[in-house]
Amino acid sequence: MKGLLTLVLLSVSNLFMTFAWYGHLQFKKLPWFSKLGLVGIVLVSWGLAFFEYVFQVPANRIGFEENGGPFSLFQLKVIQEVVSLTVFTLCAVYVFKTEKLGWNHLLGFGLLVAAVYVIFRKW
């Protein structure tokens, strides 16, 4: 159960992270947002990043094996990267609609799955 909760919290965290890091590139289409200067955009992004951390920190604390969770530190990091790229890809393709999913993206995801296998396998 802690593993699933960790994945859900990391997914929500990465949704906020994607909008904090890349959303401003799309939000410029909004009239009120396009008038903000760089400082205003940074402040909006920081506001979104706050919520990223609200979900990310508990996810790592709950999921970490020394806190009773199922994952080592390396495993948490690899999970975070896979979740991050998955959420980003879904947002880029379906929300921002700026990218098309290509064969090279699919190959890259396959390599990430291989990385997960290597990190999680007991050698």
What integer pLDDT is reported at residue 13 of this predicted model?
A: 97
Closest to 57 in 3D by CA, of 10, 116, 1, 114: 10
Decide: residue 21, CB within 10 A, 0-12 exposed, 13-18 middle, 19+ buried.
middle
Containing H/E element for 114?
A: helix 103-120
Q: What are the b/e assignments for 43-62, b being 16+ CB within 10 Å?
A: ebbeebbebbeebbeebbeb
Q: pLDDT in tens for each of the 123 residues of the chain?
A: 999 999 999 999 999 999 999 988 887 777 777 788 889 889 989 999 999 999 999 999 999 999 999 999 989 998 998 899 889 989 988 888 887 888 998 898 889 889 888 888 888
For residue 109, the tally of other CB atoms under 10 A from its CB is 15
pTM recorded for the entire structure: 0.83
What integer pLDDT is reported at residue 105 of this predicted model?
A: 87
Q: Measured on CA atoms in the order 111, 103, 21, 69, is the torsion positive or negative? A: negative
What integer pLDDT is reported at residue 64 of this predicted model?
A: 97
